[in-house]
Amino acid sequence: MISEQDCAQQVRKVGNQVGLLFYHFAKTLIDELGDAKGKELIQKAVESYGTERGKAIHERVKKAGLELTMENFSKFNDLPKSGWEYSDEGTIYCCYAEAWMERGVEDIGRLYCEVDFALLKAYNPKMRLIRMASLLDGDPCCKGKIEFVEGGDMV
């Protein structure tokens, strides 16, 4: 058996590598295609990725016969439970953000963090995320709040 602390360290290693891989893909696109076109394609890919994940969580919640609430989103979330650190305020450690901040490429990391908006919208179109704080902006945590919108289709 591996301890919870060792598990968290292993997840952090993988997460840091994922963050680094994203950085290199993103930087290559920007370098090869220019800032505007590179960022446009990165945003398109991140939105597609977030949408796929959000729809998958949506399906798992519905298959369980549950409502599309934030509580159920959290229960069926596809991220590991180890590796990140949380407080009452929000996420105080993110292995992706660590990789980007170590290299001073917070701007590229912010492109990835748009995944949260697409993921939540695909999970429940009546929900919108409002980002309140971000580690990548020098805040002590990543924090968001959920807003419910009229007219969204709830499936």
- pLDDT tens column, 109-152: 999 999 999 999 999 999 999 999 999 999 999 999 999 887 54
Does residue 129 lie within any of the structural domains?
yes
End-to-end CA distance of the chain: 41
Whole-number Å distance between alpha carbons of 42 and 155: 28
Does residue 110 lie within any of the structural domains?
yes
pLDDT tier at 82 (50, 70, 90 boundaries)?
confident
Whole-number Å distance between alpha carbons of 152 and 127: 8
Does residue 153 lie within any of the structural domains?
no
Residue 68: domain span: 4-148
Whole-number Å distance between alpha carbons of 107 and 120: 22
Does residue 154 lie within any of the structural domains?
no
Does residue 38 lie within any of the structural domains?
yes
Number of domains in the chain: 1
Does residue 25 lie within any of the structural domains?
yes
Considering only CA atoms, which of 121, 117, 114 is closest in space to residue 55? Answer: 121
40 backbone dihedrals φ, ψ, rounded to 5°: -60, -45
Reported as a single tens digit per residue, the pLDDT across 15-53 is 999 999 999 999 999 999 999 999 999 999 999 999 999
Does residue 155 lie within any of the structural domains?
no
Does residue 41 lie within any of the structural domains?
yes
Reported as a single tens digit per residue, the pLDDT across 56-75 is 999 999 999 999 999 999 99
